[in-house]
Amino acid sequence: MTPREFLSAYEFDRRMVTGGHFPSDPLAVDNGDTVGVVLLNLGGPETQADVEPFLYNLFMDPAIIDLPVGGVWRHWLAKLIAKTRSRSVREDYEAIGGGSPINRLTREQSADLESLLNERYGETTGAHFRTYIAMRYWHPFSEEAARQMQEDGVDQVVLLPLYPQYSKTTTGASLVYWKTLQEEGEIPTWPTTVVQEYAANPKYIQALSERIDEGLQRFERDVRSDVQLVFSAHGTPLKEMKERRDPYCCLVHSTVDQVMKYRGHDRPYHVAFQSKVGPAEWLTPSTLDKLDDLAEQGRRALLVVPVAFVTDHIETSYELDIEAREEAEEAGVRHFEVTSGLNSHPLFIEALAEATVAQIQPPQAPARPLSVGDGAPGSAFAAQNGSAQNGSAENGREDGAYRLQPLDQMPRHNADQRQARCHQCECIAEARCWTTGPEPSSARNDAAAPAQQGLSETSAS
């Protein structure tokens, strides 16, 4: 499907924000079924020649960028913007090796995830897992993934975004495109479930924390205790939160909150947003503004953590490690580092596997509920989340373990207890809580409950 064909078929509805283009119910599988796990990601140009068409595809997508024109006028405007911007963007890619590493790194994630799913969960679920990559704006596109899935005889599909925090502009954009391909007969229709978010999965949280520890080791020993953390997430237009009630900002702060709880709030931290495009107002503060502010406050040692990105790519390797570094150093920051992307960190691959298997309903219930360790020694993660019952014998769990259950059956973290929030926080949603039993309704934030329920809707509203 060409960008112009998708543009003519696209129409915004609430499912873009709720994730309701596909059900999030558990996917029933039979013994011997092949489950296709589709990794949804942005994609990136691998060569200099790819940059302009990649940018054209990006600016043609109405799900991610609002432009004041449509139809053929948007086509020509997108062509003009892509041609104009490609000159400087090529230089940015040249500075990090000539092209984006995102495709290579995603292929590695895909291979590692497929191996882990089959080795650890194949016998339990009775399924054979195959992983596929569906990039939104460059090869391999969704159509290419679906064609290979059809050749491989896939029976059911799990759509797994490589965006831990749900947003209309990321996961939503990929889901509506996949749905449109089905409706237009471009790809087959399979029994499908979607993983909407895993922003507080314990292994994802611990993997981020380990990347922080690795980053801290780059600072001289006498500086290390003074390092402050700056969590940087890709920004979105403010109206996505204010008008469309996109949960992304809240979910980013939920992730940060869980990381800092896991670390025992060991040092000061800040949250900022990057990669602004166009004149519209975006989530604030911007990462560059935050770095300037911290420099003015006399902070001289900063570690930037790309919190919503799961691979190294242009936004981390250039925008943060080169552009933001220059900005910070000019402002007076003497010690500046950026953590590595999660890439194929073993705990992150385990988090992806857990998010997948949580959405699988095997033909027969296992003898005992499937439990997995949280990766935290001494059940530390459960203790930090106030879940003393997590290690109780009567719940059938050993210390440091939690049960996998369908994501829609997981409670949400308590909005009142989240310390990380933006200055415009409207408490739209909270991340799913993996490590506790059902949360009493009285513990939930009443103002957030309607939005949290809406995120699980599977029909337009």
Residue 171, domain CATH: 3.40.50.1400
When mean pLDDT is compared across 23-27, 162-166, 249-253, 441-445, the lowest value belongs to: 441-445
Mean pLDDT for all residues in the chain: 87
The answer as to whether 186 is a domain residue is: yes
pLDDT in tens, 200-247: 999 999 999 999 999 999 999 999 999 999 999 999 998 999 999 999
Give the pLDDT confidence score for residue 450 in this predicted structure: 32
pLDDT in tens, 118-177: 999 999 899 999 999 999 999 999 999 999 999 999 999 999 999 999 999 999 999 999
**Of 182, 162, 166, 179, the residue nearest 42 (C-alpha):** 162
pLDDT in tens, 248-270: 999 999 999 999 999 999 999 99
The answer as to whether 144 is a domain residue is: yes
**Distance, CA of 378 to CA of 375 (rounded, Å):** 9
Domain coverage including residue 43: 3-57+100-194
Kindly tell me if the per-residue pLDDT of 449 is higher than 70. Answer: no
The answer as to whether 233 is a domain residue is: no
- How far is residue 318 from each of residues 93, 265, 299, 346, measured CA to CA in Å? 8, 29, 23, 25
**Distance, CA of 369 to CA of 373 (rounded, Å):** 13
Residue 378 burial by Cβ neighbours in a 10 Å radius (0-12, 13-18, 19+): exposed
Give the pLDDT confidence score for residue 372 in this predicted structure: 74
Residue of 114 and 390 predicted with greater confidence? 114
- Confidence class of residue 366 from pLDDT cuts 50, 70 and 90? low
The answer as to whether 371 is a domain residue is: no
When mean pLDDT is compared across 50-59, 88-97, 383-392, the lowest value belongs to: 383-392
Q: Is this prediction's pTM over 0.95?
A: no
Kindly tell me if the per-residue pLDDT of 101 is higher than 80. Answer: yes
Residue of 107 and 65 predicted with greater confidence? 107
**To the nearest 10°, the Cα dihedral for 255, 257, 259, 261?**
-150
Kindly tell me if the per-residue pLDDT of 400 is higher than 70. Answer: no
The answer as to whether 160 is a domain residue is: yes
Q: How far is CA 138 from the centre of its chain?
A: 18
Kindly tell me if the per-residue pLDDT of 382 is higher than 70. Answer: no
The answer as to whether 177 is a domain residue is: yes
Split into its structural domains, the chain has a count of: 1
- Confidence class of residue 403 from pLDDT cuts 50, 70 and 90? confident
Give the pLDDT confidence score for residue 363 in this predicted structure: 83
The answer as to whether 15 is a domain residue is: yes
Give the pLDDT confidence score for residue 440 in this predicted structure: 34
Q: What is the mean pLDDT of residues 416-438?
A: 85
The answer as to whether 25 is a domain residue is: yes
Give the pLDDT confidence score for residue 1 in this predicted structure: 93
Give the pLDDT confidence score for residue 127 in this predicted structure: 95
Kindly tell me if the per-residue pLDDT of 402 is higher than 80. Answer: yes
